Amino acid sequence: MPSELSEAEVMNFLIAVEDGEISLCPELDPQDVYAGNVPYAASNGWHITIFNDANEWDYIDEIRTPDGREVDFDDLELMPLIRDYSPSDEIAWKKYGIPGYCQHRCQSCGTYLALTLDGPKCPPFLCESCRPRS
């Protein structure tokens, strides 16, 4: 049976994501999951699931490694550094694609999108400048 992930390993992973050493690929469009879990595949083979609350990075729900080690929300709550971890709003956007509390952003240029009755409520989240012309 694989050993558990340590707090130091998880923190090193999160820092590597912030520093751009590890990239994340969301399995769902984070802006389309307005409140719920967003799973990501990491370039190092790990998987991380983030709870997106009203388009704001809220907490880590689960992490799995290729060798079968994993920690879930309850395990992570026992790791003070991880429990209290929260990336800056800009890191949440640039690394996780989560735009900020009650916000949507253009997936191409990052411009904040105004939500109107006929505005972007579902993918693709693109501003007028980045939207393809028909």
pLDDT digits (tens, 9 = 90+) for 57-69: 999 999 999 999 9
Helix/strand number for the chain, H first, E second: 4, 5
Q: Are residues 122 and 88 in the same domain?
A: no
Structure tokens at 111: 């411009």
Q: Tell me: the pLDDT tens digits for 94-125?
A: 999 999 888 888 888 988 887 655 555 667 88
| 2 is a domain residue | no
State whether 128 and 80 are in the same domain. no
Number of domains in the chain: 2
Looking at the DSSP assignment, which residues form a beta bridge with residue 74?
A: none
pLDDT of 10 strictly over 80: yes
- Examine the domain organization and report whether 65 and 108 are in the same domain: no
For residue 120, the model assigns a pLDDT of: 56
